[in-house]
Amino acid sequence: MLSLHHHHLPSTTNAKPQFPQTTTNLRHSTTFPKTLAPKLKPKPYITKSLLQWNRKPQLSGETPRVVVVTSGKGGVGKTTTTANIGLSLARLGFSVVAIDADVGLRNLDLLLGLENRVNYTVVEVLNGDCRLDQALVRDKRWSNFELLCISKPRSKLPIGFGGKALTWLVEALKARADGSGTGAVSPDFILIDCPAGIDAGFITAITPANEAVLITTPDITALRDADRVTGLLECDGIRDIKMIVNRVRTDMIKGEDMMSVLDVQEMLGLPLLGVIPEDSEVIRSTNRGYPLVLNKPPTLAGLAFEQAAWRLVEQDSMQAVMVEEEPKRGFFSFFGG
Amino acid sequence: MASIWTVEFRSLSVRPYSSIPTTTTNHRIRITNGISKSLVIRTHQFKQHCFTSIAKWNHQLVTSTPMQHLLLNRNPGTNFAIWVCVAVVVVVFVAAVKGFSRKKERPGSVADLVRRGQLRSDRRGISRPLKYEDPFNNPMVKVSKSNSSVEMCGKVYRLAPVTLTQEEQAVHQRRRSRAYEWKRPTIFLKEGDSVPPDVDPDTIRWIPANHPFATTAMDIDEDFAQRNVNQKHGVPFRIQAEHEALQKKLEALQNEENLNKLVIDPTNVKEIERPFNSNTRLNDHAEKTSLNDQAKEPSSPILDSGPNHFESAPSPGESKP
C-alpha cells in the first residue's frame, strides 16, 4: 500500500526495482527530474516524503479526470471503492462528482448515507423536470463532494441515449464554472460507479471515461471477469487502466490459500493502484452509511483507500505491496507468544 | 482447620470527669483470631467474662459522667481512632453509592455501552461530521528504516517489490486484444427490430425485449434532453411547459365559467338584480388597478371580464415572449 520509487531509476517498470535495498526510498515519481542533460555525478537518494500523506498530492492530468470504477463481476467492491476514494479525494481538497451509473440497482447513495436526499436524478434532468445542479446532492460532511444518481430504482433510462446522456453530463459539469454565479466549480474528478456485467449499463458507464479503475478480488472468478472487462476497455480506447485488489487476507496468502497480490498482477498485467485488506469495518461502515475513510481512528482498509486515492491523483502506481504480517517480536516471543 | 473468633471485652478506657469522684475502671475490647485447644473452657470463661464486662460497662455508662464531658476529655489517641473509623465509613458509603450508580447504568444503556467500549461516543449519529484533524499527518503508518516493512494500525507487514514491467504489460495487452475483439455498440435494438440500412451490424447491441432499457419508451427527443442537461438557470423545461399548459387550461376554464355566468346561470339573479352594487365594486377595483398602473387606460376590457380573469393583473414574469 505504499509507493516506493527509486530516485534515479530510468523507468519504474522496465527494470526490477532493487528493493528492499538501502537505496530504496519512499517518494513520488512526479518529482523525477525529466531532463536529457548528462548527469555529472550520481546524486544520493533523497527521501522527499517518507509517507505519501505528509503533503498535498499534486493533481496530474487534464481536469476533470473522468474515471470509471468497474469490475465485471458483482460484489467485489466497486461502489465501496467509489464512495471511499471519492470522499478521500474530497478530503484531500479536490472537487469530486460521483455518478452512480447503476441504472436499476443503485447503492452509492446508501453507502454515502445520502439516500434521503436524492430527489432528482439524471432521468429527471433529461426530462426537464429539474436542472442539473438540482440533481446534484452535495455531501454535508465534505461540501466539495457531490453525488449524482442516474435514475431512481424503479425508473428506467431510455435506451437510446444512455452513453450520450453521460457524455452530455460530463460536458455540462465541465462547463459549470462558466459564470453560473452559484459558486459551482468544474470538478477535478468525475467518478463513475459502473454496474456489474458488460451489458448496456457497462457500455453507458464507460462512454465518457478517460481512465478506469478495475476492482478485483484474488479469486479466479473475479479475475476472469476482470480480464475480460480490461480487454473491452482497451478495445474501447481506454488505455489508462489501474487495478485495485480488494479483500486481501494476508493470513490466507501466507497459508497459500489465497493468491497473492503479485500473483494477481502477474495474471492481469495491470499496474496496481491499491491493495485493500479484508476488514470487518467495511460492512459496519456500509450499514451505517458512513464511508470507511471517515472513520476515526482510521482502519486498515480506510488507510489503503486513502493511499489509492492519493495515487489516483498523481497517476501513480504501487511499487511495493504488503505481503504478510510479520510475527511480533517481544519478550514472550521466545515462548511462542 | 478449626478457626474461631474469640471476642474478649476487656475494658474501655473511659476517664471520668475529675470533679466527680467515681471509681476508675478499665474496659477493653479485644478481638483475636486464633486456634484454641481448650475450646470449651475458654468459651465458658468468655461467656462469664462477657456478662461481667457488659454489666460493668452498662453500669459505668449509666453512672458515669455525661457524654459531652466524655468526648471533650478523651485522650488524643482515641479521638484519632474515631475519626479514622468515620473516614472509613464515609469512604465505604461513597464507594457503595458509586457502585449502585454503576449498577443502574449497567444493563445495556448507551452510557454503559460507551463506558464499556462497545459504542463510541463520537460515532453516535451522523449529524456531527467526523473529520481528521489533519489528513496529511497520519500517525498510524510507520515505515521501517530499511523500508522492508511497514507498521499500520499496530500490525507490522513485510513489503515486497512490484515486479511488473512495461514489456509484460504490453504482452498482456496484445493477448487481450487478440482474445477480446470488440467494437463498442453504437446502437441498441430490441430483438425483432429491423436493422437500419446505414448501420454497421457489428456495432448493434441486441437487447432482449423485456430488458429494462428496452421497455423504456422515449418520450423526449435528444435535442430537448441535451438542452435540459445544459440548462443552468431558470425554470426547468418540463416544469415551465406544465405550468404554461395549466395556465392555459385555467384560462379556458375561467372563460367558460364567465360565459356560463353571463348566459346560462339562472342562480345569479341577485347579482343581476343589484347591478348598481356590483358596478360600484367593479369601479372600485378599476380605480385600484388604475392607481397601481397609471399607464393603463381606465376603460380596459378588465371591467368586462371580471376580477378573477387571468389577464386582469399579469405579473411581469408571466409575460410571454
CATH of the domain at A280: 3.40.50.300
Q: Does B237 touch chain A (CB under 8 A)?
A: yes
The owner of cell 517489490 is B161
> Shortest CA distance to A121 belongs to which of A161, A90, A157, A95?
A157
Residue A34 belongs to some domain of the structure: no
Cβ contact, residue pair B150, A322, below 8 Å: yes
Cβ contact, residue pair A319, B162, below 8 Å: yes
Task: Give dist(CA A120, CA A111) in Å, integer.
Answer: 18
Task: Give dist(CA A117, CA A136) in Å, integer.
Answer: 10
Per-residue pLDDT of chain A (337 residues; tens, 9 = 90+): 444 443 333 333 333 333 333 333 333 333 333 333 344 444 433 323 334 555 678 898 888 999 999 998 999 999 999 999 999 999 888 999 999 988 778 889 989 989 889 999 988 898 888 999 999 999 988 889 999 998 877 666 665 566 788 899 999 998 887 555 556 788 999 999 999 988 888 888 999 999 999 999 999 999 999 999 999 999 988 989 999 999 998 888 888 888 889 889 999 999 999 999 998 888 888 888 888 888 777 788 888 898 899 899 989 888 888 777 766 655 554 444 3
Cβ contact, residue pair A318, B162, below 8 Å: yes
Residue A200 belongs to some domain of the structure: yes
Chain A from 206 to 225: CB within 8 A of any B CB: none
Residue B188 belongs to some domain of the structure: yes
What's the one-letter identity of residue B194? S
What's the one-letter identity of residue A8? H
Using an 8 Å CB-CB cutoff, list chain B residues near A161: 222, 225
Q: Does B264 touch chain A (CB under 8 A)?
A: no
The DSSP symbol for A327 reads P
Q: Does B160 touch chain A (CB under 8 A)?
A: yes
Interval A26-74: pLDDT, tens: 333 333 333 333 444 444 333 233 345 556 788 988 889 999 999 989 9
Residue B219 belongs to some domain of the structure: yes
Q: Does A185 touch chain B (CB under 8 A)?
A: no
Domain count, chain B: 1
Contact A13, B169 (CB under 8 A): yes
Residue A198 belongs to some domain of the structure: yes
Domain count, chain A: 1
Residue A280: how many other CB atoms lie within 10 Å: 9
Please give, rounded to a whole number of angstroms, the shortest distance from the CA of A265 to a CA of chain B.
Answer: 7
Distances (CA, A) of A202 to A123, A135, A195, A213, B184: 17, 22, 6, 13, 11
Cβ contact, residue pair A53, B136, below 8 Å: yes
Q: Does B143 touch chain A (CB under 8 A)?
A: yes
Contact A316, A284 (CB under 8 A): no
The beta-strand segments (E) located in A139-237 are 145-149, 189-193, 211-216
Contact A133, A143 (CB under 8 A): no
In SS3 terms, chain B reads as CCCEEEEEECCCECCCCCCCCCCCCECCEEEEEECCCCHHHHHHHHHHHHHHHHHHHHHHHHHCCCHHHHHHCCCHHHHHHHHHHHHHHHHHHHHHHHHHHHHHHCCCCHHHHHHHCCCCHHHCCCCCCCCCCCCCCCCCEEECCCCCEEEECCEEEEEEECCCCHHHHHHHHHHHHHHCCCCCCCEEEECCCCCCCCCCHHHEEEECCCCCCCCCCCCCCHHHHHHHHHCCCCCCHHHHHHHHHHHHHHHHHHHHHHHHHHHHCCCCHHHHHCHHHHHHHHHHHHHHHHHHCCCCCCCCCHHHHCCCCCCCCCCHHHCCC
Using an 8 Å CB-CB cutoff, list chain A residues near B165: 13-16
Distances (CA, A) of A104 to A98, B116, B213: 17, 42, 10
Domain housing B197: 181-239
Domain housing A173: 65-101+159-314
Residue B308 belongs to some domain of the structure: no
Residue B194 belongs to some domain of the structure: yes
Q: Which residue of A has its CA nearest to B148?
A: A20
Cβ contact, residue pair B143, A50, below 8 Å: yes
Cβ contact, residue pair A159, B214, below 8 Å: yes
Closest partner CB to B220 (pick from A126, A172, A324):
A126
Residue B320 belongs to some domain of the structure: no
Contact B208, B214 (CB under 8 A): yes
Complex prediction ipTM: 0.76
Residue A37 belongs to some domain of the structure: no
In three-state secondary structure terms, A147 is: strand
Give kind and range of the element (H or E) at residue A69.
Answer: strand A65-70
Q: Which of B121, B157, B206 is most worth mutating to test chain A (most A CB atoms within 10 A of its CB)?
A: B157
Q: Which residue of A has its CA nearest to B164?
A: A13
Interval A14-26: pLDDT, tens: 333 333 333 333 3
Chain A from 279 to 318: CB within 8 A of any B CB: 288-290, 294-300, 303, 306, 317-318
Give kind and range of the element (H or E) at residue A67.
Answer: strand A65-70
Tell me the whole-structure pTM to 2 decimals. 0.62
Cβ contact, residue pair A161, B222, below 8 Å: yes
